[in-house]
Amino acid sequence: MSETIKRPKRKNPILKTRAPTLPPDRRSRVALGLVRGAALGNLELQCCAACGAVQYPPREACVRCLSPELEWTVMSGRGELVSETTLHHSQELFFRERMPWRLGLVRLAEGVSLVAHLDARCGPAPSPVRVEAVLDRAGQAALVARPADGDAALADEPKLRVMTSDPRFRKVLVTDAKSPVGQAVVKAVLEAGADLVWAGHCEPWKNPPGWPAIAELPKVTLVPLDVTDTKSVNELAAELGFKVDIVINTAEHHRTFGIFGRAGVETARAEMETNCFGLLRLAQAFGPVMQSRGADGDAGAVAWVNLLSIYALSNFPQHATYSASMAAALSVAQALRSEMRVAGIRVVNIFPGPIDDEWNQLLLPPKLAPSAVARAIVGALKGSVEDVYPGDIAQDWLARFRDNPKALERELGR
């Protein structure tokens, strides 16, 4: 961890909590093409299918041959900082609050020039840089030029840190800390420098392996939380919702039935109750109070993470009702993302393939270790993405889904 980021001072309680401001977030339809890659951490630019030209900014047609056949293509990001400037004035409230602000002109290896936010650790122009597409607080794609060697964490740059949701110095609620993934997430966010973790747990008579050790960790406070119980969710939100900077919703209910495998709807309802309505309850209870703290100092409310499943994209009929509940949860998460965006709070969705737990016992490897899921979550918070597909299965299914969702539907079937 860098020493450049100091622990923020406690807020002076007689001063008004500032309201969140956002960087300008209006984009044309074609400019929104950038966000597809940025959501995953990829720099994608338009590449002309007819003549091969790469262009920036995004346009309706190729600037060289006027072809409308433009394909969003992943770029290397390698480039040279051609010139730099420091902004001292802006009409945008977001940047006025953060002056001075550095910008650079970069010539990409692919031959296009672009203006990017400039990492303070880049050498003076001319110097090699790496351009990344990140998400700004408005959730829109932004370009940042960073040192070419690639070791400097975005969250360690005092200005560009705002593009991240770094857990360092923040207070994190893990909604189900008892599950294997929940336990791993508690450890991972503490390692990432979180100030404290509220470890949600329900059904106190159940004591799964590993749980007593989690409960003993320093900086961990156990809190009763059952996302299927509105009273429980509301009580916890009333008690400490105004202190939560990051929600990581790890609560999930996973059974492994096709639609003919378990008669009736009770199992499906239980999955829906946790995976979809649980998220909805949490959102209603914690969302508004977090929105009010979107600009609460340097470690205010910043992110909300949902543990979903790759099955949210396309139903895996062997786990049909679980898939359905995750598809519903994804839909709720999209709405939550829209609501939280106005406060600059990022909603991150994690779409793992099969996790190596009891419910996936009968699936062949590769399966994701709970610790790998936790690493993916922390990586997303320290970086600047909103959709994460950790592991080979998730990456493979995502690629197949994007290529041909009907083909994936057939392939996942029996």
Binding region for another protein (CB under 8 A): 203-207, 226, 228-232, 255, 266-267, 270
Give me the least distance between CB of 230 and another protein, in Å please.
Answer: 6
CA distance 349 to 334: 9
Cβ-based nearer residue to another protein, 42 or 228: 228
Give me the least distance between CB of 244 and another protein, in Å please.
Answer: 22
Q: Which amino acid is at 66?
A: L
* Beta bridge pairs of residue 71: 47
Give me the least distance between CB of 8 and another protein, in Å please.
Answer: 37
Cβ-based nearer residue to another protein, 149 or 266: 266
85-99 b/e (C-beta count within 10 Å ≥ 16 → b): eeeeebeeebbeebe
Give me the least distance between CB of 25 and another protein, in Å please.
Answer: 31
How many alpha carbons fall within 13 Å on the CB side of residue 273? 12
CA distance 107 to 275: 46
CA distance 333 to 85: 39
Give me the least distance between CB of 177 and another protein, in Å please.
Answer: 16
* Beta bridge pairs of residue 116: 104
Cβ-based nearer residue to another protein, 17 or 267: 267
Cβ-based nearer residue to another protein, 281 or 337: 281
Cβ-based nearer residue to another protein, 13 or 209: 209
Give me the least distance between CB of 347 and another protein, in Å please.
Answer: 24
Give me the least distance between CB of 3 and another protein, in Å please.
Answer: 44
Give me the least distance between CB of 228 and another protein, in Å please.
Answer: 7
Cβ-based nearer residue to another protein, 267 or 292: 267
Cβ-based nearer residue to another protein, 130 or 281: 281
At 93, list the tokens.
Answer: 């409230």
Cβ-based nearer residue to another protein, 168 or 253: 253
